[in-house]
């Protein structure tokens, strides 16, 4: 497996992280730059770490993780997305931000870590495959992490631009996107 194939794997694996980053930008448009940077860093880190874990633990746990990855992603993203929808609807019902709406919302590190785990579970299975292909896991995981980081930086820009267009509905839209990603993870 060559570098082009590994980059393509990185792009494919990062699509959920890309969508979640956009969703977070919708939901939290007033995030500081430091908090915004936390998203690509966390997603890149977990997308790079999970193939390494799959490579190391794959023979023992690969089948179990692959079997339940969809339900785990659905539960985590569904919970986070559901809360975002609930809070967004409450904000809209209260007639705007009312001083406590989306603009004041702050995404927490635990929420970002949960999102990063949920969007990187499939990378564990890729690590199992990389072991079977005798690919250098250090270089492959680094490429996957950097690809995810770069695409999530792009997602920050896209999310910032369209989040302002959506205004007060952004948190609801972001929550819906997370729930859809969770449901997609359940499908074969």
**Domain extents in the chain:** 3-49+64-119+137-186
pLDDT: which is higher, 67 or 142: 142
Residue 99 is classified by DSSP as T
Collect all residues with Cβ–Cβ distance below 8 Å to 115 and sequence separation of at least 6: 20, 24, 42, 43, 76, 77, 80, 178
Instruction: Quote the pLDDT of residue 188.
Output: 67
Query: Looking at residues 131-158, what average pLDDT do you find?
Result: 91
CA torsion, ordered 21, 22, 28, 34, to nearest 10 deg: 50
Straight-line distance from the first to the last Cα atom of the chain, in angstroms, rounded to the nearest whole number: 25
Average pLDDT, the chain: 80
pLDDT: which is higher, 19 or 77: 19
163/161 Cα distance (integer angstroms)? 6
Query: Which pLDDT band, with edges at 50, 70 and 90, does 176 fall under?
Result: confident
pLDDT: which is higher, 38 or 130: 38
> What are the start-end ranges of the H helices in the chain?
3-27, 33-93, 109-132, 137-166, 170-186
The proportion of the chain whose per-residue pLDDT surpasses 70, expressed as a percent, equals 80
Query: Which pLDDT band, with edges at 50, 70 and 90, does 99 fall under?
Result: very low
Global pTM value = 0.72
Q: Which two tokens stand for residue 130?
A: 């990389």
Query: Residue 141 CA to chain centroid, in angstroms?
Result: 17
Query: Looking at residues 179-186, what average pLDDT do you find?
Result: 78
Query: Which pLDDT band, with edges at 50, 70 and 90, does 170 fall under?
Result: low
In terms of phi and psi (left: phi > 0; alpha: psi -120 to 50; beta: otherwise), the region of 2 is beta
Residue 100, pLDDT above cutoff 60: no
Query: Which pLDDT band, with edges at 50, 70 and 90, does 103 fall under?
Result: very low
Instruction: Quote the pLDDT of residue 150.
Output: 97
Query: Which pLDDT band, with edges at 50, 70 and 90, does 92 fall under?
Result: low
């Amino acid at each position: 497996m060559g570098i082009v194939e590994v980059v393509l794997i990185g792009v494919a694996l990062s699509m959920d992280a890309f969508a979640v980053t956009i969703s977070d930008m919708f939901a939290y448009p007033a995030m500081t730059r430091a908090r915004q940077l936390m998203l690509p860093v966390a997603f890149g880190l977990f997308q790079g770490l999970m193939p390494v874990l799959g490579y190391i633990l794959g023979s023992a746990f690969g089948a179990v993780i692959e079997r339940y990855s969809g339900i785990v992603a659905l539960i985590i993203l569904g919970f986070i997305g559901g809360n975002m929808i609930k809070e967004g609807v409450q904000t809209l019902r209260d007639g705007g931000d009312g001083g406590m709406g989306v603009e004041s919302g702050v995404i927490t590190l635990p929420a970002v870590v949960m999102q990063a785990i949920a969007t990187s579970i499939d990378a564990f299975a890729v690590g199992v495959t990389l072991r079977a292909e005798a690919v250098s896991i250090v270089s492959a995981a680094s490429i996957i992490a950097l690809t995810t980081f770069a695409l999530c930086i792009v997602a920050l820009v896209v999310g910032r631009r369209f989040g302002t267009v959506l205004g007060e509905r952004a948190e609801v839209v972001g929550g819906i996107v997370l729930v859809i990603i969770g449901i997609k993870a359940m499908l074969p």
